[in-house]
Amino acid sequence: MKIEQIYTGCLAHAAYYIESNGEAAIIDPLREVQPYINRAKLDDAKIKYIFETHFHADFVSGHLDLKEKSGAQIVFGPTAKPSYDAIIAEDGQIFEVGDYKIKVIHTPGHTMESTTYLLIDQNGKEHGIVTGDTLFIGDVGRPDLAQKIASDLTQEKLAGYLYDSLRNKIMPLSDDLIVYPNHGAGSACGKNMSKETTDTLGHQKEVNYALRADMTKEEFIAELLDGLSEPPAYFPQNVMMNIQGYESFDKVMTKSQKPLAPKDFEAAANDTEAVVLDVRHQNEFVKGHIPRSIFIGIDGGFAPWVGALIADVSQPILLVAPKGREEEVITRLSRVGFDNVIGYLEGSFDAWKKEGMEYDTLTSISAEEFEKRYEDNKDVVFDVRKEGEFAAEHIDGAKNTALDSINNHLNEFPEDKPFYVHCAGGYRSVIAASILKSRGIHNLIDVAGGYSAIKNTSLPRTDFVCPTTLK
């Protein structure tokens, strides 16, 4: 069976391209849809269907743009109620794509409309299942997103639906089926996904905690909800964009790619409520940046951190990007619904400095220098890693203020003396520092290299505890 998996590291998201005998289908397309059009043209195939496993929360799907450009029909599973024309399939309904068949299996739990697609080849053999956010490799979908849209759908109720879907719809299927999930490690749509992108269903029954044969519904709900972190703030907004519709990707790209000279960039920043978002490498930001700008580097966990720290997807944004990468940055912002980029700094930060514009720097020291200062400052060390990372191992006396909730803890940072901030490798601590500085807190010192560098010193640390044993 011809099925191509398309993976993107920034979202850890997989879309699927299926082609058979001159017809094609796309399952859960990303927002920039031209590659799918080009792929079908290469195969001399017509895109017949666009299958959506559910209303996505972590990204804006490309289904509407793809329908407009290809003429294909959008298909959702049972109970979906989009604000645009689409086929709402019945449980068990079969769609034909060339010689292949795609069977709808309604698997509510992650969301109520969540659907798994069973792929059947030209010989009638069941080949695999595209599971969306129902079943991952090593994990299952989180059951707390739909409650942000409908309050009566508690996470406990959704977890119960997911248990039934897995036991009654997925686990009875053949062990040799290939599982094609929509996410892998790094996605916020689960809590412990594997870095592997496919597996057999039989092996998942053996190793996936959520598919344990002797697990009761009560045990499943308890284990699934244990340690589940708060989802990023932008998730419900992306869901509504996927339900109600959105501005076309082409229009977003056209209006957003607006180069601004330094003086015009400064005027735009002063005249609007725009966030100045600097996406260069953290080392460059440390050496110099526009005052009150926020750093979130394009070469780190960019899109999820933007979504977690800039709460409103409609927020106007001015970009400071590496020269030549402006289109890439705007694309990646648009994937997660941030469509209101109003321009970028032409010539990047070099142009700003050459113009003699005011800029700020960030104090950053090595782990070795931090070791020398530790004894006199151990009461003012802030670790911005996640709670689980901190619990596994940390510097003696350090305080844990996770980056994704830093805006809720600004009053915990001292005003009368310097304090130190670190993360795992140096990326998140610079994000944290930029947020603090934008809030008027400047008495901070970044520890370059983060905990990875600190481990090479003699600083006192707690004994390591494997995260899998933590409760």
pLDDT (tens digit per residue) in 313-327: 999 999 999 999 999
| Residue entry with tokens 């944290």 | 432
Residue 465, pLDDT above cutoff 90: no
Q: What is the mean pLDDT of residues 217-230?
A: 90
Sheet holding 115-120, edge to edge: 94-97, 100-106, 115-120, 126-132, 178-181, 199-200
SS3 readout for 16-83: EEEEECCEEEEECCCCCCHHHHHHHHHCCCEEEEEECCCCCCCCCCCHHHHHHHHCCEEEECCCCCCC
Q: Could you tell me if 52 and 63 are in contact, meaning their C-beta atoms sit under 8 angstroms apart?
A: yes
Residue 471, pLDDT above cutoff 50: no
441-451, pLDDT tens digit by residue? 999 999 999 99
d(CA 394, CA 455): 9
d(CA 339, CA 313): 7
181-191, pLDDT tens digit by residue? 987 656 666 65
Higher pLDDT among residues 469 and 280, named by residue: 280
Q: Is 170 helix (H, G, I), strand (E, B) or coil?
A: helix
What does each C-alpha distance from 295 to 172, 315, 443, 446 come to in angstroms?
A: 48, 16, 17, 13
Residue 153 in tokens? 């759908």
d(CA 274, CA 268): 8
Higher pLDDT among residues 233 and 82, named by residue: 82
Give the pLDDT of residue 364. 98
Give the pLDDT of residue 467. 59
288-314, pLDDT tens digit by residue? 999 999 999 999 889 889 988 998 999
DSSP state of 469: G
Q: What is the mean pLDDT of residues 38-54?
A: 97
Residue 238, pLDDT above cutoff 90: yes
d(CA 1, CA 20): 8
* φ, ψ at 3 (rounded to 5°): -140, 130
pTM of the model: 0.90
Q: In angstroms, how far is CA 281 from the centroid of its own chain? A: 20
Q: What is the mean pLDDT of residues 277-286?
A: 98
Residue 470, pLDDT above cutoff 60: no
Closest CA to 189 of 119, 134, 114: 134
Say what percent of the chain tops pLDDT 90.
83
Higher pLDDT among residues 154 and 72, named by residue: 72
Q: What is the mean pLDDT of residues 42-49?
A: 97
Residue 398, pLDDT above cutoff 70: yes
* φ, ψ at 48 (rounded to 5°): -95, -40
Burial of 171 (0-12, 13-18, 19+ CB in 10 A): middle
202-213, pLDDT tens digit by residue? 999 999 999 999
Higher pLDDT among residues 235 and 51, named by residue: 51
d(CA 367, CA 372): 9
Q: Could you tell me if 338 and 241 are in contact, meaning their C-beta atoms sit under 8 angstroms apart?
A: no
322-358, pLDDT tens digit by residue? 999 999 999 999 999 999 999 999 999 999 999 999 9
Radius of gyration of the chain (CA): 24
Torsion of CA 128, 8, 190, 113, to 10 degrees: -60
d(CA 435, CA 421): 12
**Please, which residues have CB within 8 angstroms of residue 268's CB and are 6 or more apart in sequence?**
260, 274, 318, 342, 343
| Residue entry with tokens 């009761």 | 216
Q: Is 189 helix (H, G, I), strand (E, B) or coil?
A: coil
Mean pLDDT across the chain, nearest whole number? 93
| Residue entry with tokens 């909730």 | 405
86-115, pLDDT tens digit by residue? 999 999 999 999 999 999 999 999 999 999
Give the strand pairing for 13-20 and 23-27.
antiparallel
Instruction: Give the pLDDT band (50/70/90) at residue 147.
Output: low
Residue 10, pLDDT above cutoff 80: no
Q: What is the mean pLDDT of residues 73-98?
A: 98
Gap between the terminal Cα atoms of the chain: 43
DSSP state of 98: T
Residue 300 in tokens? 């780190």
Instruction: Give the pLDDT band (50/70/90) at residue 9.
Output: low
| Residue entry with tokens 């989180």 | 142
Give the pLDDT of residue 186. 60
**Please, which residues have CB within 8 angstroms of residue 248's CB and are 6 or more apart in sequence?**
64, 65, 68
